[in-house]
Amino acid sequence: MTTPIALTIAGSDSSGGAGIEADLKTFAALGVYGASVITAVTAQNTKGVSGIHQVPAEFVTAQIDAVFSDLAVGAVKIGMVAQPPVIDAIVAGLARWSPKHVVLDPVMVATSGDRLLATEAVDALRTKLIPRASVITPNLPEAAALLDEPVAAGEAAVEEQGRRLLALGCKAVLIKGGHGEGAESIDYLIDSSGVTALAAPRIATKNTHGTGCSLSSAIAAELAKGEDVETAVRNAKTWISAAIAAADRFSVGHGHGPIHHFYKFY
Query: Active-site residue numbers?
Result: 176, 208, 210-213
CA of residue 211 relative to chain centroid, distance = 9
The edge-to-edge listing of strands for the beta sheet with 33-45 is 48-54, 33-45, 5-13, 75-78, 102-104, 135-136, 172-175, 184-191, 194-201
Measure the CA–CA gap between 211 and 160, rounded to whole angstroms. 24
- Which of 23-62 are b and which e, b meaning 16 or more Cβ less than 10 Å from the residue's Cβ? bbbbbebbebbbbbbbbbbbebbbeebeebeebebeebbe
